[in-house]
A and B are shown apart, each in its own frame.
Chain A
Amino acid sequence: MSSVAAPPEATVAGSEPPARAASPGRPVARFLRRRLAAGLGTLLVASVLIFLATNALPGDVAQVVLGKSATPASVSQLRTDLGLDEPLVERYGTWLAGAVQGDLGQSAVRRAQGVPDAPISEIIGTPLRNSFVLALITMALLVPLSLLLGTLAAVRAGRATDYGVSYGALVLGALPEFVLGTFLILIFFSQLDLLPPVALVPPGASPLANPDALVLPVLTLLGVSLAFCARQVRAGVIQALRQDYVMMARLGGLRERRVLWRYALRNALGPTVQTFALSILYLFGGIIVVESLFAYPGIGQLLVQAVSTRDVTLVQGITLVLAAIYIAVNIVADLIVVLLVPKLRTGLR
């Protein structure tokens, strides 16, 4: 006997609600068009929200840049120079017009310091790549590991293996990243002196140049995500194993391994792909903490600093990029699911 966690729903954010009726036409192209349109709409509203929220924060870039020695006169002069006096709607419009053409604007802080040209796209390029590397390595380990552990737990449901996997996952998942990371540093650096405790990457260098340094950050991210994904895979496989056609296959005398591969896993794949898509989003959230803990120069750390220095345009730029990645990942995930699981294809509209 064991537990059954709910398998993830076949649709996540950025996707259409489950279809109520199939529709004619070339389904995949139509699906993509609809998704992209919806995704762009989501992006637009999200950007308005972030713009309003960052502008509503107490203290603006002029105050933060001038700091302790600011005088009312110097603050208002800088505000005027930066165009912070213009109406919100106008500023958003300017920003949006640029963003549509791929220009995310200029860093407000750098401009306030008199730097004539400080394009956001240049500032976020390398950190984004670094975070990507971290996320990709984590995913490359996460997918096979959680499939393996989840399936293992599912076919051994109720036995020691299952309990080992399920509770191991629960314990890892119960700790925030900074706690897990702190313990990993304590064990692997302070006590054993096996692995470096920070993952500094000099500008211009590749984060892969020093793979040792990535071990602890990846393990930290992996620990927390694995907990979630392995449990979801396990639940998905158990669900699939209960389906009638699996029962039929078994009764028909097919070998258990074949049943597992041919029927159960394939059908458990749909929800599983969605789980992984969700964990990518989660990775980008968790990365904020992990990057700070290991001094890794990624997008999460940049985002936190941009909020604290009130670099409104930078916050806006990073958020837009992250939201776009998230929406794109979901569209791809949904596409993979409908292509892999033929019976869902009728669900396209």
Chain B
Amino acid sequence: MSAVGSTRGLLTPTAPTPAKRRRRFLASGEGIAGLAILLFVVAVALIGPLVAPHALDAPIGPPGAPPGDGAPLGTDVLGRDVLSRVLYGGLSVLRLSVATIALTYLIGGTIGMLAGLSRSHLDPLLMRTVDIFLSLPSLLLILLLIAGAGQSEVVLIVAIVLVLFPGAARIVRTATLEISTAGYIEAAVGRGERTVAIMRREVLPNIAPAILADLGVRFSSAIVLAASVNFLGLGASPPAANWGLMIAENRPIITTNLWSVLVPAAFLALLTISVNMIGDAYVRSLGRSDRR
């Protein structure tokens, strides 16, 4: 799902100062809760592999066994410890989502800013190109790329970026367009500064709020797409553990060991929910209060 959001109301000159924003953000239960959940999930992902009781790939019992001695969350489809695999499985999810989001905004952001600043035919040209990618079913793009280039993490990242960057490019373009008539931009152009410099020094800091507000939805999409690839049987090679793969591979044993599906699903959900909560709280800290 790639949301195409607007930036209206986020880039007004009356935006609150950073200090006020921070105060508002911290004062909201939502922002704090989101941060706390995110920290928890990240901690599990980072520290998990160090504290996992069992190896990632060694069977410790019969497949699909319910929780019991030595396996508090039971065993998975191959008889491996679910808890250990959950603990190992976060790192690649984090790596993949961070890499995807960073690349999405790097590419989408560059295209969007170029288009937004352009006074020439570059703008329609870039945006038409972006439209082409938007018009193709998202999973098809991923499917074709994986079928063509093999099943690896790098290919998956590139594929998801291909799906997500058009939306990001549109957001950034709209935001750039809104500020492009601002004095500081015109001044920079007048000084004859290079486009790249203008983009980095003048545009980026001023459109950052729009990007941050958009990040939650796109983050969810990245996670959902990466997990769905596992369902189609095109996920990571074994013995990799990641939460999406775990859900897909343990689906057949859901009736004997629900935890093998539920726990990785819960972690995926917590990750996306927390990022969205933080995004929401951030957006709210920018604007006027909703309270009437």
Contacts and interface: CB of A to CB of B under 8 A. Distances in A.
The reply to whether A and B meet directly (CB within 8 Å) is: yes
Interface of A: 1-14, 16-18, 38, 41-43, 45-46, 49-50, 53-54, 56-58, 157-158, 166-167, 170-171, 173-179, 182-183, 186, 190, 224-225, 228, 232, 238-239, 241-242, 271, 274, 278-279, 281-282, 284-285, 288-289, 292-293, 300, 303-304, 307-308, 315, 319, 322-323, 326-327
A178 B137 contact: no
Contact of A5 (B30, B174, B280, B289): B280
B217 interface: yes
A49 B144 CA distance: 11
Contact of B128 (A8, A42, A241, A323): A42
Most chain A CB neighbours (cut-off 10 Å) among B137, B227, B292: B137
Nearest to A154: B290
Interface stretch (B1-9, B62-70, B98-106, B194-202): B1-9
Nearest to B166: A13
Contact of A38 (B5, B128, B130, B291): B128
Contact of A6 (B2, B7, B132, B289): B7
A289 B290 contact: no
A144 B106 CA distance: 37
A157 B271 CA distance: 24
Interface stretch (B73-81, B87-95, B182-190, B243-251): B243-251
A182 B54 CA distance: 28
A81 B124 CA distance: 43
B181 to A, nearest CB: 10
B28 interface: yes
B5 A42 contact: no
Contact of A190 (B1, B115, B255): B255
B214 A176 contact: no
A14 B223 CA distance: 26
B131 A42 contact: yes
Interface residues of B, number: 78
Q: Is the interface of A mostly helix, strand, loop or mixed?
A: helix
Contacts, number: 219
A135 to B, nearest CB: 12
Contact of B265 (A18, A56, A179): A179
B148 A6 contact: no
Contacts of A5: 5, 213, 216-217, 279-280, 283
Contacts of A175: 224, 265, 268-269
A49 B131 CA distance: 13
A3 B30 contact: yes
B206 interface: no
B217 A171 contact: no
Contact of A3 (B135, B137, B214, B281): B281
B118 to A, nearest CB: 10
A170 B248 contact: no
A182 B284 contact: no
A241 B288 CA distance: 12
B3 A157 contact: no
28 contacts: A6-B283, A8-B6, A9-B170, A12-B170, A13-B130, A13-B166, A14-B135, A42-B135, A54-B144, A57-B147, A157-B292, A158-B291, A171-B273, A174-B223, A174-B224, A176-B223, A176-B231, A176-B268, A178-B231, A179-B261, A228-B217, A281-B134, A285-B137, A289-B232, A304-B232, A319-B136, A319-B137, A326-B134
B277 to A, nearest CB: 8
Given A4-B283, A175-B269, A9 B174 contact: yes
B127 interface: yes
A182 B137 contact: no
A319 B140 contact: yes
Nearest to B27: A1
Contacts of A308: 147
A198 to B, nearest CB: 15
B96 interface: no
Given A3-B30, A175-B265, A17 B135 contact: no
Interface string B255-289: 10010010001001101110011011101100111
Nearest to B134: A13
A3 B271 CA distance: 18
B47 interface: no
Given A57-B147, A176-B231, A2 B284 contact: yes
Contacts of A179: 227, 247, 261, 265, 268
B177 to A, nearest CB: 7
B110 interface: no
B244 to A, nearest CB: 7
Contacts of B9: 239, 242
Contacts of B258: 186
Contacts of A17: 115, 123-124, 127, 173
Nearest to B126: A17
Given A5-B283, A292-B232, A182 B131 contact: no
B50 interface: no
B140 A278 contact: no
A1 B135 contact: no
CB-based closest 7 A-B pairs: A3-B280, A13-B134, A6-B5, A174-B272, A174-B269, A178-B231, A323-B135
A293 to B, nearest CB: 8
A15 B135 CA distance: 11
A278 B134 CA distance: 10
Contacts of B2: 278
Contacts of A182: 247, 251, 254, 261
B131 A18 contact: no
Given A4-B290, A6-B214, A49 B4 contact: no
